[in-house]
């Protein structure tokens, strides 16, 4: 009898030890399954991402999705607007002017009916058509002569050249302004901008000259940029955002800080802290910063980025929502530390 009880106790102890091991193994398997489920949900969300519900470029969409997006865009355009000039839009048609720069009279020399000469015929009417065209464009060369004058004391004084006369032969401010406009406002490559100025405008500039205009313009705009940053830092509310941009075939970031009256655009290698510090507006800023993760402010069509967020997979929306919550909590804490509530 005693031997049977001892065996049962021994068996019970062994089963208890096995039970502890099974429970531990079960808990580990549960953690593993939870992790795998999260990974599967993440991968499924990525598989469901397109340019219509995420920030992925349209070039990454499969052909079926591209065709679907194409049809959706066509339907949206048909519903939103008709082709051609929109109601209320300013027209751009040509109208005759009362004082043309030049007038040419075309008198017929012979009758279109019988062929007789019309040299002595009476004028009974006329028709007018006006042609708007560009006059021939050529570079105007201005020679500046700095006269040297000898004083009675024997000292020779030379007249001062204007600021634009920097060398014996140099391009003036008009050519420089046009070069920076073509390359930075119209986004023409330097080579094509040089060809345009040489072939069409009569200013045979070099690509090296055009390449150096950006640095010159930046130096001239230094006081303006400083004043813009100062005014932005004083504004109680600013909007900030950033987007990727290609610079010399490399990925950079285009940052913006804007108000209804001011817009600061800065191209930077970094997306985060380094760019923020170099822009020198947000460090120490105590106002309200509005970002693109805000709630929809007013009725009306959603912007494209908000439409993508609404159409995004639920897993990605939840992750972004948590990230925005952490960011807003951190920002609120920093703002309260700078401006404590009494």
For residue 282, tell me if it sits in a domain: no
Place of tokens 């959603």: 302
Q: What is the pLDDT of residue 334?
A: 47
For residue 332, tell me if it sits in a domain: no
Q: Three-state SS for 320?
A: helix
Can you tell me the distance from the alpha carbon of 36 to that of 42, in angstroms, rounded to the nearest whole number? 10
User: What count of residues does the chain have?
Assistant: 342
CA distances from 261 to 22, 158, 282, 286 (A): 68, 46, 17, 19
Q: What is the pLDDT of residue 322?
A: 56
For residue 187, tell me if it sits in a domain: yes
Spacing of C-alpha 341 from chain mean position: 38
For residue 197, tell me if it sits in a domain: yes
Q: CB under 8 Å to 202, separation ≥6 — which residues?
A: 137, 138, 139
For residue 178, tell me if it sits in a domain: yes
For residue 176, tell me if it sits in a domain: yes
**Secondary structure of 220-285 as H, E, C letters:** HCHHHHHHHHHHHHHCCEEEEEEEEEEECCEEEEEEEEECCCCEEEEEECCCCHHHHHHHCCCCCC
Q: What is the pLDDT of residue 21?
A: 87
Structural domain for 183, as ranges: 171-220
CA distances from 289 to 120, 128, 323, 337 (A): 81, 60, 16, 16
Encoding tokens for residue 22?
């099974």
For residue 123, tell me if it sits in a domain: no
Our count of domains for the chain comes to 1
Residue segments in the chain with a per-residue pLDDT below the cut of 70:
1, 59, 73-74, 76-86, 91, 292-342
Encoding tokens for residue 31?
């953690």
DSSP characters over 151-203: -TTS-EEEPPPPTT--SSS---HHHHHHHHHHHHTS---HHHHHHHHHHTSS-
For residue 77, tell me if it sits in a domain: no
């Amino acid at each position: 009898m005693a031997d049977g009880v001892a065996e049962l106790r021994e068996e019970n102890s062994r089963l208890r030890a096995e039970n502890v091991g099974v429970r531990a193994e079960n808990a580990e398997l549960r953690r593993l399954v939870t992790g795998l489920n999260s990974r599967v949900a993440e991968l499924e969300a990525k598989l469901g991402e397109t340019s219509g519900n995420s920030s992925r470029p349209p070039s990454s969409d499969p052909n079926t999705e591209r065709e679907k997006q194409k049809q959706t865009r066509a339907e949206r355009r048909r519903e939103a607007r008709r082709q051609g000039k929109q109601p209320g839009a300013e027209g751009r048609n040509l109208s005759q002017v009362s004082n043309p720069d030049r007038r040419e009279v075309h008198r017929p020399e012979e009758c279109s009916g019988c062929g007789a000469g019309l040299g002595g015929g009476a004028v009974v009417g006329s028709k007018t058509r006006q042609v708007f065209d560009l006059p021939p464009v050529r570079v105007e060369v201005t020679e500046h002569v700095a006269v040297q004058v000898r004083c009675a004391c024997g000292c020779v004084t030379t007249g001062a050249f204007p600021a634009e006369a920097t060398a014996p032969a140099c391009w003036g401010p008009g050519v420089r302004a046009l070069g920076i406009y073509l390359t930075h406002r119209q986004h023409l490559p330097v080579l094509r901008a040089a060809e345009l100025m040489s072939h069409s405008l009569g200013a045979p500039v070099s690509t090296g000259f055009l390449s150096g205009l950006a640095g010159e313009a930046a130096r001239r705009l230094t006081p303006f940029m400083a004043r813009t940053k100062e005014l932005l830092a004083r504004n109680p509310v600013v909007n900030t955002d950033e987007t990727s941009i290609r610079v010399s075939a490399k990925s950079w970031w285009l940052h913006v800080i804007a108000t209804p009256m001011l817009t600061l655009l800065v191209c930077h290698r970094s997306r985060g802290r380094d760019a923020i510090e170099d822009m020198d507006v947000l460090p120490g800023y105590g106002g309200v910063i509005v970002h693109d993760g805000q709630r929809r402010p007013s009725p009306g069509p959603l912007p494209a980025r908000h439409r993508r967020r609404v159409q995004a997979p639920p897993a990605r929306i939840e992750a972004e929502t948590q990230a925005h919550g952490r960011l807003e909590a951190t920002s609120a804490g920093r703002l309260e530390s700078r401006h404590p509530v009494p």
